Amino acid sequence: MPRPGLPKLIATDLDGTLVRTDDTVSAYTHGVLDRVRAAGIPIVGATGRGPRLTRLTLTDIRAADYLVLANGGRVVDLSDPAVGPATLRDERLDGHVLARIVADLETAVGPLTVLIEALDEHDAPLWGDPDPAWRYPDTLEVRPRAESMAGRVIKGFARTANHDVDVLLAAAQWIVSPDQATVTQAGLGFIEILPPGVSKATGLAVVAANLGVDPAEVLVFGDMPNDVPMFEWAGWGRVAVANAHPLVRALADDLTLSNDEDGVATYLDELLSR
């Protein structure tokens, strides 16, 4: 059991929060997370990365007991090595619904670049429109939209060169009803279109229910608007890294150092040393 005065569950975002700008995680951070686990506190990696990036995610947060992937659409229990990974949640969005959402958005804001994440396999490609703004061109397979959206998908990405991503997100949140889809952005310059009811908060709620932990006993770390739902949900503490988006900073109880300064590990190190 965790010591008195400590949270009973800790969840951290990865990119921009735990992971440095150069895509590395320091030995110091790994060591602190190992100490957290040794204190009896389960760790959750809560990320926008889809299941196809599970191996990379496990490299970046090797101490994780659970993964909340695809902004909450996929939840994986890693807590029992003898049993192996167990999927606790797998939500998908109907591609035809996504196509209607994209059409409605394009009517409002103009042409969009659209990428589709539909596959689980390791390093599987995204499908869709070529866009030089996408940070990872090696993961993209150019496909017609109709073909990309023919089945159920994990999520869609959309961008327009004519709108800042936060402006596009505000427009999408106005146009897209919550029963159609959830829309957010994770710092990639694209909005993300998810199944309805999917967020890091609802993903973490699956983990918390599995462990019998109350939201009031959960500590979270984040940096971008896709972390806002878990900041609103967690009650023990909400900590933003110094490089966090203003929306996240506004909801935070505490501010720590930036991701490049190992802010998450520094905060946890101090917490464990009290």
d(CA 241, CA 211): 27
CA atoms of 160 and 15, how far apart (whole Å): 22
In a domain, 3, yes or no: no
Of 136, 166, 194, the domain-final residue: 194
Total-model pTM: 0.96
pLDDT at 104: 97
Alpha helices per DSSP H over 61-177:
95-109, 145-148, 165-175
Cβ neighbours of residue 72 closer than 8 Å, sequence gap 6 or more:
46, 89, 91, 194, 198, 199, 200, 201, 202, 203, 204, 229
Answer whether residue 79 is part of any domain.
yes
- Rounded Cα distance between 270 and 274, Å, is 6
Q: Are 67 and 100 in a shared domain? A: no
Q: Name the amino acid, one letter, at 153.
A: V
Q: According to the model, what pLDDT value does residue 1 have?
A: 47
Average pLDDT of every residue of the chain: 96
**Residue 163 and residue 102 in one domain:** yes
> What number is the average pLDDT over the span 32-52?
97
Among 208, 46, 263, which Cα is nearest to 254's? 263
Region at 210 (left for phi over 0; alpha for psi -120 to 50; beta for the rest): alpha
Residues 78 and 101 grouped into a single domain: no
Read off the pLDDT of residues 148-168 as tens digits, 9 standing for 90 and up. 999 999 999 999 988 999 999
268 and 244 share one domain: yes
Over the stretch 197-213, which tens digit does the pLDDT of each residue have?
A: 999 999 999 999 999 99
Give mean pLDDT, residues 168-192.
97
> Residue 159's CB: how many other CB atoms inside 10 A?
21
Residue 128 bridge partners (DSSP): 115, 142
Tokens standing for residue 99: 């196509």
Residue 62 or 133, more confident: 62
Please give the residue range of the domain that contains residue 33. Answer: 9-90+198-273
With a cut of 80, say whether residue 4 has pLDDT above it: no
pLDDT band with cut points at 50, 70 and 90 for residue 135? confident
Rounded to whole angstroms, the Cα distance separating 223 from 209 reads 25
**What are the tokens at 210?**
């599995």
- In this structure, the answer to whether residues 47 and 35 fall within a common structural domain is yes
Give the domain CATH number at 112: 3.30.1240.10
Q: Are residues 189 and 203 in the same domain?
A: no
The answer, yes or no, to whether residue 123 has pLDDT greater than 70, is yes
